[in-house]
Chains A and B, each alone.
Chain A
Amino acid sequence: MENSPSELGLAARVTSLQKTYGSATTSVTALDDVSIGIRRGQFTAIMGPSGSGKSTLMHIMAGLDTATAGRAWLGDTEISALGDAALTVLRRRRVGFIFQAFNLVPTLDVRGNILLPFALDGRKPSSTESAWIEQLIESLGLADRLTHRPHELSGGQQQRVAIARALATRPELVFADEPTGNLDSRSGREVLALLKAASTGYGQSIAMVTHDPIAASYADRILFLADGRLVEDRERSSAEDISRIMLGMEQRA
């Protein structure tokens, strides 16, 4: 009898994950027998060069894409067995997202975007949730921006709104896909510090895909992917160490 992911202290887990694209003759392997667990309450970075399969891995773990073979869990729910409708509800209630760009719905103001997960669920936040959201808005410095539209905000501000939205439902796991990719270095550092604070302060589990060693240095744990395989699993490391590992991976390739 294998242990359930939650008994192992994992927010998400994949085993023997395989993903291939294209037909038999021209197939490309994006993921090749990947098994990892994302620990609860930790800020985990998934690193790798372009084409390493890190984005594909995140898409499958978040229920946005399906694997060719292997299994994936979010908490104790095996998501590789779920249909589109169940995955949709799962994304809405149990997962948060922060993307590189185009994070916000352009027609909604800041408050509308933050409350979107609740609106999609057809409910209003409870009083505890409202208090939490107000606290988020305050700590992310968005209090005087609530009626602004996304196009009136800087990139860093937009990303902070996306963070507020992702944290608003207190999801089991927040996925961040290159969250600093479109930002200047100062805004980027701010965003990373906020993600780290969410993890250490509120015990929020976060999985961040990045190829930036500085971004990864904010994480508690760093998983390195290359050519669709897990090649390294490190605890917190400095940007220099991470760069060295990345360079080593490039040279071996």
Chain B
Amino acid sequence: MSDRQTTRMTPAGQAGRGASLLVAALASAFGVVLLQVTSVLATVISGDDVGSIGAVKSALTLVAVLFITIAVYVSSIVTTNTVATIIAGRTRTIALMRLIGSSARDQRRAVAREGLAVGAAGAVIGAAVGTLLMAGGVQIAVAAGAIPDLRYSLLDPLLVLPVAVVVLSTWCAAWVGSRRVLRVSPMQAVGAAQELSLEETIRRPARNVIAVLLIVAGVVFLTGGVIVGQVSEYGVLLGLVGGLLSFSGLVLGSHLIMPPILRLVGRGLGSNAPARLAAANAQQHPERSSRATIGLVIGVTLITMFAVAGATFEKMMELAMEDPTVRAAISEMVGISLAVISVLVGFSALIAAVGMVNNLALSVLQRSREIGLLRALGFTGRQVRTMILAESLQMTVAAVALGLVLGVVYGWAAAQSLFGAVANIGLVAPAVPWLLVVLCLAGTAILAIGATIVPARRAVSVAPVAALAAG
């Protein structure tokens, strides 16, 4: 066999580890910087009054923890998926190791150990880079007179928390992502190894039932929240439960939801050979494409949700309030909060984007033979490049579209359940900030094209002879 003995050295393994390292570093840097910003803000707000610093800080920290949790959640999903994708591509080597006599548990443990190492390295690098950036940022801010020259303490024992959480979550993600190792049979070293086909994936009754139950229960709670919200602001608690339940259901059932959306988007790509092959590729492995896109769906949903909630709240207040100065004050407050929240959530979307780009790159690396076959049959380099671009477009468009729709629904439900009673004007249509939609579309285009640069170069360089090698 032409594979090198250990997959540690394969391009796919390296690309995957690089991406996991980057994701861990980003999440850790985000956590560290956010806590440091919190601490700086608390110091600025309480000024010299050392006594009040504790209360301000704990309130701000609570908010920071919420956003760190989101970032860690998204990065865990991304890492789980990266590991699962690498394992799928490594099946033959794992099968060979099994054939020689290595146990599935040993193989899985090796993957998890690697996850722990990558997570630890990424978390420490991220924390160091984040702290350096923060220190530089504070210096610049003080020099520019933006914040007073106080004694800021950037190194807080609390900072160990995000670092530890990132290490642990990367470790767990590698463990969860490597469960497929247990299903690799030694016989697969002899035959052709494939990912599960569409039919096999959908036939997983327990998981599907749980996903559907969660979604149904979530929708019931969300509706309840909106109704209760008409009379009491406690409706938001019902809404929150509904949001968490239904969203978990969507993530769990993504292998049922993403393929039809991908198919729909794929049909819009056109009917030439590269576009049709790209559409078929994204649908061939529904699990892989769902994995690749769900992180981005989460990111876009969160951004849209906050934006729509804010805009809808503003609209409700405009309808309810008569006084123009109150309206202006509310509008300003909503604007600032939204800008801050968008940046905070946007970071999670960035992590998700890293995951999607990486997934596309891995899928090209793992398809050298197929691309070689197409080249042998007369696919030009340009057609290969078009195919990769179409595949990327299909995944980003599907993810962003679903994220926008979900975000509008969740945002509207949030605004209704929290402020319905205060505004007391009944149900209003959701307000969509169009600037956000345009930004999302622009971001989609940049991401879709940017994600293909490296994979496309790699794909074009595949020699037609690659398909002819036996075995």
User: Known interface pairs A84-B381, A88-B379. Does A105 touch B273 (Cβ–Cβ under 8 Å)?
Assistant: no
Once the chains bind, are A108 and B280 in contact (CB under 8 Å)?
yes
Residues 346-400 of B contacting A (Cβ, < 8 Å): 369-370, 373-381, 383
Q: In the complex the two chains form, what is the Cα distance from A122 to B276 in whole Å?
A: 11
Contact status of A100 and B378, CB under 8 A, knowing A119-B273, A122-B272: no
CA distance A188 to B192 in the complex (A): 19
Residues of B within 8 A of A122 (CB): 272-273
Chain A residues lying within 8 Å of B470, measured Cβ to Cβ, are: 100-101, 178, 181-182
Whether B381 lies near A106 (C-beta < 8 A) is no
The distance from the CB of B45 to the nearest CB of chain A, in whole angstroms, is 57
A159 to chain B, nearest CB (A): 14
Q: Are B281 and A120 in contact (CB under 8 A)?
A: no
The reply to whether B373 and A103 form a contact with Cβ atoms under 8 Å apart is: yes
Q: Do A93 and B284 touch across chains, with their CB atoms under 8 A apart? A: no
A99 near B467: Cβ-Cβ < 8 Å: yes
When C-beta atoms are compared, the residue in chain A nearest to B375 turns out to be A88
Nearest CB in chain A: distance from B420 CB, A:
48
Contact residues, B142-200 vs A (CB, 8 A): 192, 194, 197
Residues of chain A within 8 A (CB-CB) of B205 are none
- Interface size on B, as a range, is 20 to 34
Do A105 and B468 contact each other (CB < 8 Å), given the known contacts A84-B381, A88-B379, A92-B378? no
Within 8 Å CB of B379, what residues of A?
88, 92, 120
> A64-B464, A178-B470 are contacts. A120–B377 as well, Cβ < 8 Å?
yes
Residues on A with beta carbons closer than 8 Å to the beta carbon of B383: 120
In whole angstroms, how far apart are the Cα atoms of A117 and B273 in the complex? 9
Q: Which of B405-428 contact A (CB under 8 A)?
A: none
Most chain A beta-carbon contacts within 10 A, residue among B376, B383, B465:
B376
Bitwise, B34-58 to A at CB < 8 A (1) or not (0) is 0000000000000000000000000
**Quick check: B277 and A99 within 8 Å, CB to CB?**
no
Q: Mark A93-115, 1 if CB is under 8 A from B, else 0.
A: 10001011111111110001000
CB distance from B466 to the nearest CB of A (A): 10
A134 interface hit (Cβ, 8 Å): no
CA distance A114 to B464 in the complex (A): 19
Contact B380 A85 (CB under 8 A): yes
Within 8 Å CB of A112, what residues of B? 276, 280
Residues from chain B with a CB closer than 8 A to the CB of A59 are 465, 468
Enumerate chain B residues within 8 angstroms of A84, measured Cβ to Cβ: 381
Q: Is B324 interfacial (CB 8 A cutoff)?
A: no
Please name all residues of chain B whose beta carbon is closer than 8 Å to the beta carbon of A64 when the two chains form the complex: 376, 463-465, 468
Query: A108 and B378 in contact (CB under 8 A), knowing A59-B465, A64-B464, A99-B468?
Result: no
- Residue of A whose beta carbon sits closest to that of B372: A102
B471 at the interface (CB under 8 A from A): yes
- Whether a CB of chain B sits under 8 angstroms from the CB of A89 is yes
Which one of B197, B276, B369, B378 lies within 8 Å of A121 (CB-CB)?
A: B378
CB distance A91 to B376 under 8 Å? Answer: yes
Give the complex CA separation of A178 and B469 in angstroms.
11
Q: Whole-angstrom distance between the alpha carbons of A62 and B192 in the complex? A: 26
Asked if A97 and B277 make an inter-chain contact with CB atoms under 8 angstroms apart, the answer reads no
Contact B468 A55, beta carbon cutoff 8 Å: yes
Q: How far is the CA of A119 from the CA of B380 in the complex (A)?
A: 12
How far, in whole Å, are A108 and B194 apart by their CA atoms in the complex?
A: 15
B residues with CB within 8 A of A: 192, 194, 197, 272-273, 276-277, 280-281, 283-284, 369-370, 373-381, 383, 463-465, 467-468, 470-471
5 cross-chain pairs, A with B, having the tightest CB-CB distances, nearest first: A92-B378, A107-B280, A119-B273, A107-B284, A91-B378
Contacts A117-B378, A120-B379, A122-B272 aside, 11 further interface pairs with beta carbons under 8 A come to A89-B380, A91-B378, A92-B379, A102-B192, A102-B467, A106-B194, A106-B284, A116-B273, A119-B276, A121-B378, A178-B470
